[in-house]
């Protein structure tokens, strides 16, 4: 006689799954599975980030790789993720860079 068929419950979404579904203008970070509000950046902060990102892009143009401004998520694990202000990936970096963010591995430089 065949074993009874068990209905499998669909897996619950992980905190990371919920994190990547946040709207683009929602800048909360994922810390210990909870969404944590971040402070609004100052004008000076944004100026510095812009300057650093400019040099990241110059480096990428000459050496290859990728650079992303704030808004591209980085996954630490299923309960931790954040939005670096800028990030740089060396051409040999094997991090998995999906549309929703860096889901495996890490950037080489993070600001």
Q: What pLDDT digit, counting tens, does each position of 4-31 carry?
A: 555 555 577 889 999 988 988 888 999 9
Contact 73, 101 (CB under 8 A): yes
Q: What pLDDT digit, counting tens, does each position of 66-111 carry?
A: 999 988 999 999 999 999 999 999 999 999 999 989 999 999 999 9
Burial degree of 60 (CB within 10 A; 0-12, 13-18, 19+): middle
What pTM was computed for the model?
0.81
The 3-state DSSP composition of the chain as helix, strand, coil percent (nearest 5) reads: 25, 25, 50
Largest CA distance in the chain: 72
Cα separation, 48 vs 6, whole angstroms: 57
């Amino acid at each position: 006689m065949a074993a009874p068929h068990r209905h499998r419950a669909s897996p619950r979404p992980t905190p990371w799954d919920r994190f990547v579904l946040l709207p683009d203008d929602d800048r909360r970070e994922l810390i210990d599975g909870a969404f944590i509000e971040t402070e609004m950046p100052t004008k000076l902060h944004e100026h510095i980030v812009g300057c650093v990102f400019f040099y990241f892009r110059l480096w990428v143009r000459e050496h290859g790789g990728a650079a992303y401004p704030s808004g591209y998520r980085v996954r630490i694990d299923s309960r931790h993720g954040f939005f670096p202000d800028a990030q740089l990936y060396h051409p040999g970096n094997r991090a998995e860079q999906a549309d929703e963010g860096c889901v495996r591995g890490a950037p080489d430089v993070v600001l």
